[in-house]
Structure 1
């Protein structure tokens, strides 16, 4: 079968990616396993960092990259009752994290590094690492969900407990950010979106954003966001920027509010305003995707609301197409998810 391999780390380029021939998975999967014909994959910023050698410099290569994908069930192994051939399925980022709190063991097993990911024509998965795709979603839309959507769901719903009338700020217009916007609106929240592009802010408004702030023209956006609440502060901030944005988030959050720490787009290190965190009793909550139980709850909610992910662009499953998709991710200009169709 054809597969894309990451053969070497390639800082600043996509040269480390190449099309390869891998052995075809057995036609009959093992006990408890499901053979899936891959139909679509989607990229996350993590995948770009993996290519650059920045996510895990000790990652063993070659690696089939990309954590998120969807496909059609071809065959099931003994003991599998939840799926049958022809079912449409998507994968879970942490196959061993089924429910409850994370652990060293559940975090050790993740797709697209350290274990091979979805960027291939077919592969077998443990049955408990798959979920059925809601009927209203295409394969490409479903492939956009496992990492970005579940991370946003965890931030807004599972951990954030956002309620009607809450004030939420979402940084940016990438995959996680737009899912966070959509889920926050689904919960009845008032949402502020920040971006460096007025055009993207206008597009976010069409998705339901109540307010927009251009952080390039307003670098002190934390004070502006707080002023939009009448000085009370935000209830919840989805922090995707990292080092250069966290202190602005601390200025914008209300006493006792929650900042969901997800991204490090502007860097991993920061001179943190610790006194403000302490005196305002601010909660800093790290968010890393979520368990399988949360994925299934999210899928039910999306089906009930007939919610669709925002797809930025689609690329073909060729070496050139995949390299172009990664290059587009690296430029950081996407509005929504980048998808590779098989």
Structure 2
């Protein structure tokens, strides 16, 4: 099947949404022997897309590039050397290109990945290296599956990334806020039989977290010592077995107070960069007798493990109530930037 151009959104600079431009005819590369041609049906946004569009942290990118790393769709054609997929298979994108099947993701991998150095997912058709796709969970819609690439996989790695220390029944997991990683971690933890403590700054969002199954919710604005409070909510005040920390500098001090002896703090994000004060040092792990683990995303092997778990447990990823059309990409970026969303913001590409 030959498709030469595609309707697409392009990031042409780093002036925020002003740098987003729509084109009806973005050129596609020819289908290589290790490539797949995909009809993309849905994409979702991450904080990463905002950072790239705003030029934050000197993130490199090659303009013009189609933004977005997260997407789900159907394979329309495969290259001559592709044996793991066929026409008609439903897939989800993996952010990286040509990384090891079961290797740890690095910053270099991300900086050369989808939506940054190579075209991403906010377009109707895409040619991707076969290493950048995995099979989609059978039980999910395209919109639901499009949330998994970064947030879902990061949450999975946070909870199950250390062999022999995966979360299970009787464990306590603490998640922070209502972003994609935190909500996915909440869902995975609950499906594994764990108790979940969640934090948020919004009473409205607190109610939504309770509806999802969080047994305890703490408002961190009205309870600045939320780490100690979270610890008091655990059996025998032992602390959380796993803390999924997405704030980084702004939250890790409280995460240390919440975690149990020999517990794990999964450093899953840097949302609090720029607001830090008195950030703990690596030696605080000795004071609190815990493990802090830095990691990025997850491997394709972990992605497939997660997808099997989703199908087996019947998990439905949470999509924000406001779903954007392909014509509303700028509005979708602005919605995420204003932090109006709950979990993941999805763009339907129909």
Q: What TM-score, normalized by structure 2, do the two folds share? A: 0.91
Question: By how many angstroms is 1:109 displaced?
Answer: 3.6
- Partner in structure 1 of residue 212 of structure 2: 207
1:163 Cα deviation from its structure 2 partner: 2.3
Given that 1:236 and 1:257 are in contact with CA atoms closer than 8 Å, whether structure 2 keeps it comes out as yes
Partner of 2:86: 84
CA contact (8 A) 1:168 1:190 kept: yes
Give the drift of 1:261: 0.7
CA 1:301 to 1:65, structure 2 compared with 1: closer, same or farther past 3 Å? same
1:187 to 192, 208, 211: 192
Q: CA distance change for structure 1 residues 73 and 55 in 2, over 3 Å: closer, same or farther?
A: farther
Structure 2 unaligned spans of 5+:
1-5
315, 322, 326: which one aligns with 2:324: 315
Query: How many angstroms apart in 2 are the aligned matches of 1:273 and 1:42?
Result: 33
Cα RMSD (Å): 1.9
In the aligned structure 2, how far is the partner of 1:112 from the partner of 1:327? 18
8 Å Cα contact 1:24/1:122 also seen in 2: no
Aligned residue pairs, count: 337
Measure how far apart 1:54 and its partner are. Answer: 0.8
- Tell me if the contact between 1:96 and 1:109 (Cα under 8 Å) persists in the aligned partners: no
TM-score by length of 1: 0.93
**Larger deviation: 268-277 or 233-242?**
268-277
**Aligned partner of residue 93 in structure 1, secondary structure:** coil
Structure 1 distance, partners of 2:217, 2:273, is 23
Q: Structure 1: which 5+ residue stretches go unaligned?
A: none
Q: Distance in 2 between matches of 1:326 and 1:207?
A: 25
What's 2:309 paired with?
301
Matches of 1:155 and 1:186, distance apart in 2? 15
Question: What is the rounded CA distance, in whole Å, between the counterparts of 1:190 and 1:302 in structure 2?
Answer: 18
The answer to whether the Cα contact below 8 Å between 2:180 and 2:343 also exists between their aligned partners in 1 is yes
Contact 2:256 2:288 (C-alpha < 8 Å) held by counterparts: no
Q: Give 2:3's aligned residue.
A: none
State the alpha-carbon separation in 2 of the partners of residues 17 and 23 from structure 1. Answer: 14
Q: Does residue 115 of the first structure (1) align with residue 121 of the second (2)?
A: no
**For 2:58 and 2:196, how far apart are their aligned partners in 1?**
34
Task: State whether structure 2 residue 143 is matched by structure 1 residue 136.
Answer: no
Q: Are the aligned partners of 2:98 and 2:129 in contact in 1 as well (CA < 8 Å)?
A: no
Partner residue in 1 for 2:239: 233
